[in-house]
Chains A and B, each alone.
Chain A
Amino acid sequence: MTVQHEQKIAGDQDDFLSTPFATWLAIEPTDERDMFRMRFNERHIGNPFIRALHGGVVGSMIEASAELGLGNLVQVEGPTELVSSAIDYIRVTKDADLFARVSIVRIGRRLAFVEVRCWQDSEDLPVARGSCTLRILEA
């Protein structure tokens, strides 16, 4: 990866992380390029009685991580737009930070297929997984 590309990745990521949406979601990068963290906030709770995360918040985290992770892991020529996501909610969540790890299934000229796995206590105990399809637009 070139220095210029490293700088572009950092710039794109910083642009996204400064948006109102990224602030609302409280998503942040980690030391690992393919991993992101959602800092828990009361607004992420779906059911106040069992204090589980809202399914849509977990879905938002998966979609945001897919986009950020794709840009971090490979050199994408243009901006990306999420086309579809399919999310499985594997375990009950709790009122704590959520982590996401991104892996790329395939990247073509126009489309990228990305998988995201989320956990709270341990990466060995996933709480959700998502398959996302992203359209790569012309620069």
Chain B
Amino acid sequence: MDTKHPIEQYFSFKHPLTEYLPMEYLGIVDDVLTMDIDVPEHFVADPVTGAVHSGFATLVLDTVLGGAVLGHIKLAQPIATVGLTTQHMRRAVKGEKLTCRAKLEGIHRDMAHMSGQLSAANGETLSTATGTFMIGTRAKPLGARL
């Protein structure tokens, strides 16, 4: 039986997106999922300082918050981000090792409410986010839709 967390499975696919996000699942403690990330060069927006764009933090937080939702639902089903609010403090720089944490705040009906932080190795918070995710989207593959 595969006991991997769904986010580990997601990152174990040879998925074009995950190949750009070097992330490692560390585990879940008290409903908080933790992943480590090596900041890759692809997201650098300031070549002088090596700082990445805020969009990198948004991308990581959406990925980890959404991935954490998958670990809380019994049936494997697709989810979709409905809302994501992000606050950005310092930009990470390429090569930096970061930690992203995602916490389930609650599930009501088919909506999961999450919060999370992206932090530097010394604990400094770089970005925070809250996200709402719909569990079980009705989206159909494009071919079946007009």
Question: Which residues of A pack against B, CB within 8 Å?
Answer: 16, 19-25, 41-52, 54-57, 59-61, 63-64, 81-89, 92, 94-95
Contact = CB atoms under 8 A, between A and B. Distances in A.
A87 B84 CA distance: 5
Contact of A25 (B15, B55, B61): B55
Contacts of A22: 45
Contacts of B52: 21
A45 B139 contact: no
B110 interface: no
Interface SS of chain B: helix, strand, loop or mixed?
Answer: mixed
Interface of B: 13, 15-17, 19-20, 41-47, 52-56, 58-63, 66, 78, 80-88, 137, 139-142
Given A21-B45, A54-B17, A55-B62, A60 B83 contact: no
A35 B142 CA distance: 26
A39 B60 CA distance: 21
Contacts of B41: 20
Contacts of B78: 47, 49-50
